[in-house]
Amino acid sequence: MKKGIKVLIIVLIILILYLVIKWSSFYAGVSLNLRPVDKSCNTDSDCVMAQIDCSPCSYGSKGGAVNKNYKPLCPLKIRNYPCPDALPEWYGYAAVCKNKKCVKGESLYNR
């Protein structure tokens, strides 16, 4: 086999592997947040429970206690994605400031 054909086959195999990896991790890449999560605080009022990833749906998204001014940086935003009409697991909790860091507090439903 000629050297040029061998190189072409190797390049095609690498390209196919790259595309398989990219497509299999498409959703993970879309939900990737490029901004570090800001959990800094001085008082409880500095903290809120919020979505911290870039998932198109809040249900099933990653959430947590963050600074009230924090917004995730989501360069690959999906629009018009059909989402279930449900609340995420982290929704029913208070966010509190402990040791200058926002943390998940008590359930709001057990008060």
Cα angle 81-84-90, degrees, rounded to a multiple of 5:
110
The pLDDT score that the predictor gives to residue 69 is 95
The pLDDT score that the predictor gives to residue 98 is 97
Dihedral sign of CA atoms 15, 17, 21, 23 in order: positive
The pLDDT score that the predictor gives to residue 26 is 47
The pLDDT score that the predictor gives to residue 66 is 96
The pLDDT score that the predictor gives to residue 14 is 85
Whole-prediction pTM: 0.64
DSSP code, position 64: E
Environment class of residue 20 by beta-carbon count within 10 Å: exposed (0-12), middle (13-18) or buried (19+)?
exposed
Which residues in the chain show pLDDT less than 70? 1, 19-32, 59, 77-80, 111
